[in-house]
Each structure stands twice: as structure tokens, then as C-alpha cells.
Amino acid sequence: MVSPDVVRAVGAEIVVEVSGAEVLLLDATESEKAEIEKRTHVRLFKNLTYEFAVASPLFSENEAVAASPSANLRGTNPYVFRIMDITGTAIRGARVEVYLKDTNTPAVGITDKNGMVSLSLRASSATEVHVHPNENYWSTYLVDVSSSTAARALTLEQIEVPYQDSLRHFCKPEGGLNGTGVRIAVIDSGINRHAELPDINKGLCIVDGKFSEDFLDNGMNHGTHVAGIIAGQGKGVRGIAPGVTLMSYRVFAKDSRKAQTLDITTAIQRAVDDGADIINLSLSLADDDKDEDGMRLAIDYAVDSGVLVVAAAGNHSCGEMRIPARYDDVVAVSALGLKDAHAPASTFALDLHHCINAEREFVPDFSNYCDTQLNLAAPGFAVVSTVELAGFRAMSGTSMATAVISGIAARFLSKHPDLVGFQRSPERMSKLKDLLYSSAVTLDLASRFVGHGLPQL
């Protein structure tokens, strides 16, 4: 370990010393870093930023209070909306996005307890308006909207569960507790104690190198949504492997979309040591930085321990995987969708696709692709899953697809005759990967977008 005295001697600063681990988080210049490495013969790694691999808007209750148009969008033209359901009941906390011409970033408002939101903007007309509720309703949109002081009423359609979304199309629900005996570590925003989810018997929060027992969702609902895809118990949504043991490692601070290498790699090591069979990483490096040796070492530790690591390809519509999906030993997953498997007036109807087959199955435009680094594909478009404490929401992203593959892998581990009874080992992990790849079908979609395809259960 690097001695704190050495750090101080070269003029660098210790930001965090991880309790019980040989880890320091330093604030050091490149020259200070080089001097510390020279004196200690210990290599230092960058602490880079990761984000959720989700293509749907995410926002927390706390963020909602602070939402407002950026300065360059403000003006004197009023836009007033009332968001309600079919009975006329106001929908509180919905995110309303107003897109002006020649702007990619929308003006944002959050509905109050009366379902109302009012924005004053610089243009008298908007190209699109999107409405994203936090839970239990489908999103909706309008095009070519003029400003007005009169409130424009928008009615949202309720999400009826169970819903025949893209997940239930590609992966038919089955009875029984598939995945029993398999431990899946979800390294994410945390997992809420949702009515549809099994009890979380192992959890930890690691943020800025500090440990706590608060493994519940950080307010963004991403980890809870991922957990429902894996292990939903079937009353409202049924997950791929309801019998698994979920392990929650929260690495995102409260109300944050960003996590750091230090916390993710520490969580990976803890998950391995806690006995995980599969690690689900529905996240990706925020910037396309190829120098991420800290993450590479953590992945190596998991793989050498016989743990299957499943990671999101990323949502940048580009021909390369993002870290950690880029690594050879990681199962990299892209997204699949089904045309019209959502409410007709939902914003999901606006999404484009890379390619589509005769069955109206497609690869959404946001999903990263690659001829060599992509391994599998799974439903990740307008997937209905768990949020909050008892709610449901549809989300898109390679995050969702990654959770599907983790669930399928758990089912293989729990019942495939070539795997049942074998203890965790690199050999078992390699065999599991081979089974996932050999059982996959491309669905008449180009392999650069789906890899081997979707494993068949």
C-alpha cells in the first residue's frame, strides 16, 4: 500500500482512505502520480466516471424540485400543461420536456400536486413536448406545440401489469422459481424493498470509498428496475429468474447518475468475496477512455474466481463497446425491441432502429454495436419493470438487456445438466459462456448488432 507519508511528501492529497482495504483515493498531478509510483513501486489508477446504460430519462424526487430551464432557453413565451390520467386525476412528479427548434437539450419542468407545470421560454413554438411520469403510466408526446397561457391537458395511459412488452415477447414467462441457488450481484443504484422483489439478504453501499449498509435505491430507480427484470416474482411482472438470490451493491450517491471506478471495483471485489455467481453491470464508462486498468484488474479478479460478469454494450449508437463491456472476458450485451410493444402514444414510438426483421423485432438505434466485441443481445426496449416501493415503469437501454442475460445465465446455472452441481470456478464460468453463446439465435438480425444473438431457454 502507498504510505500516506509518501503522498504528502510529494505534495499530493489523500481524499479518502478506504477502511479495511489497501486503497487510497488521491488528488495528484501527473508528475506527483509518477513520483509516488517511483518511490513505492505501486501503480496508481485513474478514478473515472461511469453512468447508467439507460436510454430513458431518469430523475429523482429531489431533482424534480430543482428542475428548470437553462438560462439560454428562458424567455417570455408561456407553456402551461396539466398532466392527468384517464379519470382526470392529477399526476404529480411527471417530467415535462419542451424541445425548442435548434436545441438538443430540452427545457424541463416537473408537475406539482395538481399535475401542473409552467415554463417561460424564448421561442413561441416548440418542435416536441415529452412527458415522462415516474411510475405507473406510459410516457407521451406532442409535436409542433405553440406557447399559450391556457393550460394544455395531457392524459397518460396507465401501465397495466402484467404487460406484453418486448421482454415478455422474447422471453416467455414460466412458472416456478427458476434460478434457485444462484447469487446475482447487482452493482448499481441500489435495490428498493419492492413488493414484487425477493428479500435482499446481502447488500452494501460503497460511495467515495466509504462503506455503509444503505443498499436501497439511491432515488433514481435504475437498480430496482434492473432487479425486477432479473427476479420479479410474478404478481405484476415476472422476472427471468425469480428464484435467484439478489445481492445489492450501491455505488451511486443519492440522486446521482454517476459512479466512480474506486467504488465499482471495490464492489466487484466484495461481490466476489461474498460468493456471487454472476455480476450484473448495467453501466458503462461515461467517456470513451480506453485507459481503465483499475476496472480491468477488478474484472480479472472476478473472472479468475469463476464469476460470470455481464455488462451493457452502451447507448451511444456507435460501433464500439464501452468499458467494461469491451473486455474480452465480459459478456457484452446489446438491446432488442419489438415494434409497437408499448402504448401507441408513448415516446417510445419516436425511437429509431438499426435493423428490423419480418417479425417486427429490431435493434434500437441507441444500442452500441460491433463486429468483434459484442457477444449477445436481449430485450432492452420499453421494458416494464419495478420502481419505487410498489410501482412500475417502462425503460429502455442496454442496462435492461444486460439484466435479461444475467437472469438467463442464472437459469442455466440452476438447471442445465452440464452445470448443475459444479462449484464456482473459471471452468464453470467458461462452460456457462459457451452454453449462452451456442444456444443463441440471431433472429435474422445482423450479427454486428446482436453478436451471437439471444440465448434460447
Residues with a known catalytic role: 188, 222, 399
User: Which residues are registered as beta bridge partners of 361?
Assistant: 338
55/60 Cα distance (integer angstroms):
16
Kindly tell me the sign of the dihedral angle through the C-alpha atoms of 93, 220, 255, 101. Answer: negative
Q: Tell me how many degrees the CA angle 138-140-143 measures, rounded to the nearest 5.
A: 170
Rounded to 5°, angle at Cα 292 from 47 and 4: 40
* CB-based contact 299:364 (threshold 8 Å): no
> Please, are residues 396 and 57 in contact by the beta-carbon 8 Å criterion?
no
Question: Helix or strand or coil: residue 336?
Answer: strand
Report yes or no: 235 and 295 within 8 Å, Cβ to Cβ. no
Asked if 166 and 379 touch (Cβ cutoff 8 Å), the reply is yes
Distance CA 36, CA 401 (A): 41
Residue 421: C-alpha distances to residues 278, 340, 349, 416, 434 (Å): 16, 42, 45, 10, 17
